Amino acid sequence: MHSNTRDLKLNGSAQRTKRFSKPLATSGITVDIPECWSQLRAVPRAMHEEAFIKILEKYHLPIDSPVPLVSRYSKSRRWSAEELGACLRAHDRGISVALMSAALNRNPQDIIFRLLDERHGEPGGFREVGLKNAKKWTGEMLAAGRELFEAGLTAWRIGALFGIDFEGVEKLLYQGREGYGHAKKNPFAICTDHKQIVNRAIIRRRKLIQNALEAFAGEGRFARIISEAFPSANLLCIEQDASTFDRGVSAHQWAPTVQWKKGDNLPILQDLVRNGAKFDLVDLDPFVSCREQIDFAWKLLADNAALFITFGGEYRRSFIGTNRKAIQRRYGWLNESLSNSDYLEIIPSYFFGWVAHEAAANGFILKLDYCVRYPNNCRYWTTASAAQPEACKEWYLENVIESESGYQWKNLIIPRFREVRNRVSELETGVPFSPSPKKQVVKKVNKQLEFPL
């Protein structure tokens, strides 16, 4: 595969382009953000949509939300200079974005982008602070939250309602939605569905799988694909979350050769290495990161094994200053001058370059069979072949550039999901992805015709 990453300036002198360039107007209204959640005032009941009130009443939950409970696509309002100033002061005091969002009735992602613009280049930069003293989900809250979400209330408003960090809300609500896919445009479900389509297509190209490892098995969707394609395969599925594990075990009539283990996968992987286990398929598909699990994978791979790796949720927010440093600690590369969009454009090639570096150091050469950049993660489907050190070194030097303490895979084509979602037939035949020619956009201009009197 080759590159569609743009020609980016990667040296320290690169200038970051601001997302927002127009100055904000003043409103004349004093804006301040409180220190804690208990200081927020509930908005009047009349500001909520009746459908959401009924759901809360159904579960006997109080209707004391600091933000109006209104449908997803409510009209946004313009920012004021006073609001931005309040966010900057709150950020400097260590106030969480979730609390700012609830106080201002604004989408937390909008606040993050504003803070990134204003704090870029300053000592410390933008710091994402977790919500202090966040409440824990109760059974009633979770049931009501899921019903509110189905009825059209956004995850961040549900977080504001219950005093829970919006990212935790997203994870619980999106993961818990059954039968929610293309029809309602849920990005988590749509991308997961496509990922399984690619999994199936890649698996069908292989002649045999005898031993397979699912280190983040989830509810067993990929495990079922493997089991159906190779009924006699020995398949080990590991899942840490108890409720997800239970759903996975009960979701299918598994063959005797399929084993499920509940718990942290790291000690299980360590035991497998100690016992000399080998697999001809290893799948690492985490919700956030599989950095530590990759270290074990090399010792578990048989020759010519399938190795599938997901650059998980850490990719989605990797452009934030503190997260860029976390990415550096994990994968070696840091660039603080790139714009957010440029950083997200190029970080997939540095992640896979790091994977290639580790592969070569552990005696493997990787063939990249397919890869896709989803909105929330990047997924790489590879074949790992054992090789002598000199061959590994030659392969590595041919494909990877070392720069800025990182490892960049040369000429990586990693199409966005929207580019490949309707090109499934290519997967079955193994045709490499190539970008479609861009269509010419013809703008229609309506001219006002003047008729002589």
How does DSSP assign 427-443, residue by residue? Answer: HHHTPPP-PPPPPPPPP
Domain total for the chain?
A: 2
User: How far, in whole angstroms, is CA 390 from its chain's centroid?
Assistant: 36
Residue that terminates a domain, selected from 132, 159, 177 = 177
Let me know whether 273 and 384 are in one domain: yes
When pLDDT is averaged across residues 398-408 and rounded to a whole number, the result is 90
Q: Are residues 209 and 354 in the same domain?
A: yes
**pLDDT exceeds 50 at position 220:** yes
In this structure, the answer to whether residues 153 and 210 fall within a common structural domain is no
Asked whether residue 322 falls in the same domain as residue 400, the answer is: yes
Residue 412 maps to a domain: yes
Q: Please indicate, yes or no, whether residues 89 and 153 belong to a single structural domain of this protein.
A: yes
Range of the domain at 87: 37-177
The residue-averaged pLDDT of 176-205 equals 68
Residues 142 and 216 placed together within one structural domain of the fold: no
272 is a domain residue: yes
Going by pLDDT thresholds of 50, 70 and 90, the confidence category of residue 72 is low
- Give pLDDT, residue 132: 56
Range scoring the smallest mean pLDDT among 114-123, 155-164, 438-447: 438-447
In this structure, is residue 24 part of a structural domain? Answer: no
Pair 144, 58: CB distance under 8 Å: yes
pLDDT at residue 381 tops 50: yes
Is the pLDDT reported for residue 46 higher than 60? yes
Residues 142 and 213 in one domain: no
Q: Could you tell me if 407 and 261 lie in one domain? A: yes
Residues 400 and 368: beta-carbon distance below 8 Å:
no
Q: Same structural domain for residues 358 and 404?
A: yes
Across 150-154, 385-389, 416-420, which has the greatest mean pLDDT?
385-389
Quick one: pLDDT band at residue 440, thresholds 50, 70, 90? very low
pLDDT tens for 77-121 read: 889 999 999 999 999 898 989 899 999 999 888 898 888 888 766
Q: Tell me how far apart the alpha carbons of residues 115 and 39 are, in angstroms, rounded to a whole number.
A: 23
- The C-alpha atoms of residue 379 and residue 381 are separated, in whole angstroms, by 7
**Average pLDDT estimate for 211-230:** 94
Rg (the chain; Cα; Å): 25
Say yes or no: 144 and 222 in one domain.
no
Q: Is 215 found in the same domain as 173?
A: no
